[in-house]
Structure 1
Amino acid sequence: MTNKAKIFYNEALAGSLEKNDDGYSFIYDDVYLKSKDSKPVSQTLPLRPHPYTSRVLFSFFDGLIPEGWLLNIASKHWKIKGTDRFELLITLCRDTIGAVTVLPNEEEDVNG
């Protein structure tokens, strides 16, 4: 299982999300921050050069994970525990309805 993900906003690399022993961290990409077109991925995560940290998965990212019957189907298909929010996020949020996309690090490295 990967513990890092690339976060894209409208197909631009916006930052990276990491699961670690202390919880989670999210940091915006330096190039993204310098772009005149950069926008925060969420109002709860304003643009800044310093990492955000949290003991639990940030509410914004947790909110991208499907709920109900779709979550049940996905969990069974990929055999992911419903409590593993990070694994659910990187598995199920590669093609979201909104502007934000989440890709595991190794997948982005292979395709990018």
Structure 2
Amino acid sequence: MQEGNVLRNKKQVGVIRRNDEGVYSFQYDEHYLLDKESKPISVNLPLQKEVFQSAYLFPFFYQLLAEGSLKELQCKEHKIDVDDDFSRLLKTAKDDTIGSITIEEIK
């Protein structure tokens, strides 16, 4: 299993995972859900206690990934298969993402 902490402005929002069967999941952090100031990270991922599951990387998270020559450079630098978007997300979305969301790999 691979997983990463999802942060908004360095505050824990939830955890994204890919299990050994290739199924993706995202779940909001319990404390984040209790905070009245919390907002969903995406209209497709509304605030809820239940786990979101998908056979594909959620579009919101996919949009955090670089494309083109930067994608190629990242894959080469981190020794990641160009088709392994989730590993790339965990390795590259800790810094310099568009917007307030970052991902920190859980090792």
Name the CA distance, whole Å, in 2 between partners of 1:13 and 1:45: 15
**SS of 1:64 mapped into structure 2:** coil
Residue type of the partner of 2:79?
K
Whether 1:47 and 2:47 are equivalent positions in the alignment is yes
Give the aligned partner of residue 109 of structure 1.
Answer: none
Name the CA distance, whole Å, in 1 between partners of 2:106 and 2:5: 6
Name the CA distance, whole Å, in 2 between partners of 1:102 and 1:37: 21
Following TM superposition, the consecutive aligned residue runs of length 4 or more in structure 1 with deviations greater than 3 angstroms are none
Residue deviations 1:72-93 (CA, integer Å, cap 9, x gap): 1111111110111110001111
**How much does 1:97 deviate?**
2.4
**How much does 1:22 deviate?**
5.0
Whether the 8 Å contact between 2:64 and 2:98 is mirrored in structure 1 is: no
Structure 1: gaps spanning 5 or more residues: 107-112
Residue deviations 1:62-112 (CA, integer Å, cap 9, x gap): 111100011011111111101111100011111112110001113xxxxxx
Relative to the length of structure 2, the TM-score reads 0.93
Relative to the length of structure 1, the TM-score reads 0.89
Matched residues, number:
105
Structure with the larger helix share: 1
Residue deviations 1:34-81 (CA, integer Å, cap 9, x gap): 001111111110100000000011011011110001101111111110
**How much does 1:4 deviate?**
0.8
Give the aligned partner of residue 14 of structure 1.
Answer: 13
Give the aligned partner of residue 59 of structure 1.
Answer: 59
Residue type of the partner of 2:67?
E
Q: State, as a whole percentage, how many aligned pairs show the same letter.
A: 36
Q: CA RMSD in A?
A: 1.1
